[in-house]
Amino acid sequence: MTPGAKRRSSAGGADVAHPVRPVAPGARVAIVVGSRSDLPTMEAATQTLSELGIVHELRVISAHRAPALLEGFIGKAEASGVSVFIAAAGLAAHLPGVIASRTTRPVIGVPMKGGVSDGLDALLSIVQMPKGVPVATVGVGNSTNAALLAAQILAIADPDVAARLTGHRAAQAQAILDDPTNAG
Ligand code: RP5
């Protein structure tokens, strides 16, 4: 290799740098999914964050298929003010752990259904992180809880988000109080 030449992967150029699209101004949560096939499951997360007034950014980036893009995105997201990452993946679900290895900001992992025992493979891949690089893992397919946990992290330093979370808890309690088996 000549001096200064860019090292290229022999396995399809996976380490070649990719341009990273700018992150939305004001985004505080980044949602990364390993495949477009994960998007339907993550709709509840984007909806919950929107309901809580939290600006977020969604990207489809596979840790295995586009590792350089993922690394570039993590850096850009951090520089843009993203405080929490939510990462969804199925099968050998390395995406949340890889993101956690590249940032000290909190990473919440969402195992996707499918694969072995309808998501048990992804659940174990995400939850069984080695000591030193934690990923907060929610239930299989439970993207609502990922969004709520991200909001709770932001709420520590943001009274407006804290107030909206309190309202959300009150509303879900009220829905149970209003259930015909409890009302009247
Ligand atoms: C994972 O593999 C993705 O997160 C997805 O859940 C699963 C299957 O991906 P596709 O083959 O549908 O792209 O990387």
Ligand 1 pocket test: pick from 37, 59, 64, 70 the residue with the most ligand atoms within 8 Å of its Cβ: 37
pLDDT tens readout for residues 132-161? 999 999 999 999 999 999 999 999 999 999
Residue bearing the CA closest to ligand 1, atom 13:
35
pTM score of the predicted model? 0.92
Q: Output the CA 43–ligand 1 centroid distance in Å.
A: 16
- Give me the CATH code for the 29-157 domain, please: 3.40.50.1970
Mean pLDDT along residues 109-134: 98
Q: CA-CA distance, 143 to 146, in Å (whole number)? A: 5
Read off φ and ψ for residue 158, nearest 5 degrees: -135, 100
Amino acid identity at 60: V
Q: Residue 2: pLDDT above 60?
A: no
Pocket, ligand 1, Cβ cutoff 6 A: 34-35, 37-38, 62, 89-91, 112
Helix ranges (H only) for the chain are 39-51, 67-79, 95-102, 120-127, 143-155, 159-177
- What pLDDT score was predicted for residue 17? 73
87 DSSP β-pair partners = 32, 109
Q: What is the pLDDT of residues 164-179, one digit of tens each?
A: 999 999 999 999 999 9
pLDDT in tens, 56-110: 999 999 999 999 999 999 999 999 999 999 999 999 999 999 999 999 999 999 9
- Mean of the pLDDT values across residues 42-50? 98
pLDDT at 16: 62
Give the residue-averaged pLDDT of 111-118.
98
Residue whose Cα lies nearest atom 11 of ligand 1: it is 35
